[in-house]
Chains A and B, each alone.
Chain A
Amino acid sequence: MTENFDYQDMDLLRFTTAGSVDDGKSTLIGRLLYDTKTIFEDQLEAATLSSRRRGDENLNLALLTDGLKAEREQGITIDVAYRYFATPRRKFIIADTPGHIQYTRNMVTGASTANLAIILVDARKGVIEQTCRHAFIASLLRIQHIVFCINKMDLVDYREEVYESIVRDFKEFASRLEITDMSFIPVSALHGDNVVEKSANTPWYEGPTLLYHLENVYIGPDANHIDPRFPVQWVIRPHSKNHHDFRGYAGRVAGGVFKPGDEIEVLQSGFTSRIKSIETSDGELQEAFYPLSVAITLEDDIDISRGDMIAKPQNLPRSGQDIDVMLCWFSEKNNLRQRGKYILRHTTKEVKALVKEVKYKVDVNTLHKVEDNLDIGLNEIGRVSLRTSQPLFYDTYRRNRITGSIVLIDEFTNETVAAGMIR
């Protein structure tokens, strides 16, 4: 961090990291934190002490991110760990997700809010099944930017042909995925090559360092600013002397732009009105867009409550009780029950959902459709038709991540058992 922290100009980038066991993912994150001076002396000291106690030869930077007792004992990452660092340009939120096969659930979770994914590849092993799985999940969750860090370049003597052959292999696989922006960077997380500082060991590599890329990748167009969507979270009615008739619909804009005077339509009632004002405690706004949390007041008194959606008559979301989703199953206890009933959450709405049909399962390693075994269990992904007890107002996930996503909740255990992306 520099002295002149002009934080008013900083923006926010969320990224997720995925890699296989021992790909050096935690080391890479530790390196980013260490080299951007985010790690404090006392934290470093504590990690050094732990490393020595465990008998590690070098400082084990993974001990900075793996916080739970079981993780430190077993030397693995169990859960999504969130880490933070900032440079004068950007604040970064890292969702660090474990690479084991059984933890696909965590990667999907970390990816759901990320603008960018870093996928680690061990230069000695090249593109393996898990690399393909991580890339598939990143593309399924529609992360727009994917960075492949070819790690442990020091162990292959920083040879260009090793790097080139991995890039070639991966591009061949990636042609079957939809990835908007892909980059490849040769690094050694352990020694810091091309992480923050450009490495003298890879003179053949002319691209940016990882940090430079993270600081400069353009994330502006990632949110939807086209289709106006405002899921109502809460109705603010102060009944106070100064604000006796105030009735504000509170929520976070999920898409498009809203302005005072705009004609709007409320779903599901279908009533129309105009926006009177867009209120915040700091004053009225002339426009509201993602990610702002505001309160909208309307010209007319109409019945609106939590779970309703404010849109515009000339650009309405889809509506209906039958949705088609790509579902990722999270429960360790039970598999998806065909004809089973679940609680479904979509934006601020909660309804019941019935599993009508499992169409196919996806083999996440080969991307093949599996149609002879339709039993969906932990960490499996499948295409499923759901019938809901009330109409939903939604967009496809491809169009809008917020209005196109759902979770399923087991009505007996209250656990979140699945996440779905509407097709």
Chain B
Amino acid sequence: MHHSYAVNHLKHLESESIFLLRETIAQFQNPVILFSGGKDSIVITHLARKAFWPARLPFPLLHIDTGHNFPETIAFRDRLVEEIDARLIIGSVQESIDKQRVVEEKGPNPSRNALQTVTLLDALDEHQFDAAVGGARRDEEKARAKERFFSHRDEFGQWDPKNQRPELWNLFNGRKHHGEHFRIFPLSNWTEMDVWQYIKLEKLELPSIYFSHDRETVQRNGVLLAVTEFITLLDGEQVQTLKVRFRTVGDATCTGAMESPATSIEDIIKEVAAARIAERGTRTDDKRAETAMEDRKREGYF
């Protein structure tokens, strides 16, 4: 029998991610998965279950909750947690504000995006997590293109992009001093397209906001924002009900929608293939400055 021992790119990526998740369990005392309810963290959770099957998911899930949520995402999160019998920990930005750890932004579009970093670092500290597994991908953003799989954070949770540990072959160095931690990015080598193809292949369920639906929106700074209780309409802004979907799931005040008729994964894959705007192009948080992501990451952002 002729045999090529070839596997397709999705199998390759899946295998690599499973290897990294197993390394995470083996090298750290108390790792956690950062779970936003977005598709990348859903894929990570799925891969983690596969990596340790038939044993239970060995990681708890940590959701940094900005309070500015789409209710569909929260409902999805709670259903998934129950279905897979996971332990869910919630770090609340509202609580950080109430405890005066952070101060809410002013203005018509107050974003809690930057505040999340404090809540995240506080939660990691409170629960003594020494590794936080995230769904960030290198293709998302130019500062993320420089990330490691095992990314070191100092005792202040800071990332130093100029002083990163080289990663060779499949040898990952998770050694650290007391008080330091690691961010682990098993999807580093995946692209948005790979994630969608994998979701289709594995028949994963997603929150409904990824698919086309009618929603009240407002056009602001080139981004189509959902009209929610968290934003204040400005003079002259028109509310329009459109058929939209979301490409990323985040704080409702900075995650833009796109007009789309896509109601299935297949439709979305076609749309992604034809897209001319980057996935995070609908995020106002990245548009605040050219190096907005690098600046936030240095501080300890996702």
Contact = CB atoms under 8 A, between A and B. Distances in A.
Given A5-B269, A252-B15, A414-B175, A42 B146 contact: no
Interface string B254-272: 0000000000000001100
Contact of B8 (A9, A69, A112): A9
Given A7-B197, A280-B53, A291-B7, A82 B138 contact: yes
Which of B5, B164, B176, B177 has the most chain A CB atoms closer than 10 A to its own CB? B5
B27 to A, nearest CB: 9
Contacts of A233: 19, 22-23, 26
A299 B116 CA distance: 50
Given A81-B146, A252-B15, A252-B19, A40 B168 contact: no
Contacts of B290: 46, 50, 72
B5 A220 contact: yes
B165 A415 contact: yes
A183 to B, nearest CB: 22
A203 B169 CA distance: 41
Which of A42, A72, A86, A405 has the most chain B CB atoms closer than 10 A to its own CB? A42
Contacts of B141: 67
A221 to B, nearest CB: 9
Interface in A281-302: 281-282, 289-293, 295
Contacts of A369: none
A409 B164 CA distance: 13
Contact of B193 (A81, A86, A280): A86
A419 interface: yes
Given A252-B15, A252-B170, A405-B169, A234 B26 contact: yes
A279 B16 CA distance: 17
Given A236-B54, A238-B54, A330-B166, A223 B5 contact: yes
A281 to B, nearest CB: 4
Chain A, interface residues (CB within 8 Å), range: 35 or more
B55 A348 contact: no
Contacts of A223: 5
A293 B165 contact: no
B139 interface: yes
Contact of A67 (B4, B169, B281, B294): B294
B11 interface: yes
Interface in B7-45: 7-16, 18-19, 22-23, 25-26
Interface string A61-97: 0001111111010000011111110100011010000
Given A1-B274, A50-B290, A68-B146, 13 more contacts: A9-B8, A11-B8, A12-B12, A68-B291, A79-B164, A81-B146, A108-B168, A220-B6, A236-B52, A282-B50, A293-B18, A295-B53, A409-B175
5 smallest CB-CB distances across A and B, nearest first, come from A67-B142, A281-B53, A112-B168, A238-B55, A293-B18
19 contacts: A3-B270, A3-B274, A11-B12, A12-B12, A12-B13, A79-B162, A84-B191, A106-B166, A220-B5, A225-B5, A243-B54, A251-B22, A252-B170, A281-B50, A281-B54, A290-B5, A306-B26, A409-B173, A416-B173
Interface of B: 4-16, 18-19, 22-23, 25-26, 49-56, 138-139, 141-146, 161-162, 164-171, 173, 175-177, 188-189, 191, 193-194, 197, 269-270, 273-278, 281, 290-291, 294
